[in-house]
Amino acid sequence: MRMPIEERIESVADIRQWTDTIPFQYEYTAGVAGERFLRGLMDGKILAGYCPGCNESSLPARIYCVRCYGGITEYVEVEPVGKVRAVTSAKQDAFAFVTFKDVRGGLVHRLLDRARAGTEVVPRFRPRSERTGSILDLQGFESRR
C-alpha cells in the first residue's frame, strides 16, 4: 500500500473531480420576527413590528426598525382593511401589494378577486384547523364588501 505522502498525481484530469458524500443537514427558521408574524397568521391576525422610538408600525415584521435601527420587540395587529397599491399577474394568479392604515410598508400576496389599485381589501384566512404557520395560512386578499 502506498502512503499518501508518496502519492503522485501524474495527470491534471485526476484532480478535477472528487466523488463522495458529506452528510450535512440544514434547518431554516423564519427568524424571531418572522415567527411572530406567522404565529399571528395562525391566529387570523396580520402583525406588524412596532417601534416605540418612532411610534411607527411596519411590515414585513422585523426585529429592527427600518427608520432608526432600534430593536423591535413589540408586534401589533394591523387594522384588517388594506388598500391595494399595485397589482401584477403571473400565469392564472394575480398578486397585490397591500398597505394598511398607519403602517409603513405592506404585504405582497395573492389577490383573490378582481380588485384594482385603490380598492379596499380584507384578508381571507384558511379555516383555523387547516393553518400550519405558513404564509399560506393567509390565502390572500379580497375586495371589502
What does the binding site for Zn ion look like in residue numbers (CB under 5 A)? 51, 53-54, 65, 67-68, 70
Which of 31/70 has CB closer to Zn ion?
Answer: 70
CB of 69 to Zn ion, least distance (A): 7
For strand 103-105 and strand 120-125, is the pairing parallel, antiparallel, or unpaired?
unpaired
Indicate the residue among 38 and 51 with the shorter CB distance to Zn ion: 51
- Asked if residues 31 and 38 have their Cβ atoms less than 8 Å apart, the reply is no
* Minimum distance, C-beta of residue 74 to Zn ion, in the bound complex (Å): 11
Q: Shortest distance, CB of residue 141 to Zn ion, whole angstroms?
A: 27
Select 28 or 69, whichever has its Cβ closest to Zn ion. Answer: 69
Instruction: Give the separation between CA 21 and CA 87, rounded to whole angstroms.
Output: 45
Select 49 or 106, whichever has its Cβ closest to Zn ion: 49
Q: How many CB atoms lie within 10 A of CB 75?
A: 17
Q: Which residues, other chains included, contact 6 with Cβ-Cβ below 8 Å and sequence gap of 6+?
A: none
What is the smallest separation between the CB atom of 86 and Zn ion, expressed in angstroms? 25
Q: Which position's Cβ is nearest Zn ion?
A: 65
C-alpha grid cell for residue 45?
391576525
What is the rounded distance in angstroms from the CA atom of residue 77 to the CA atom of residue 64?
17
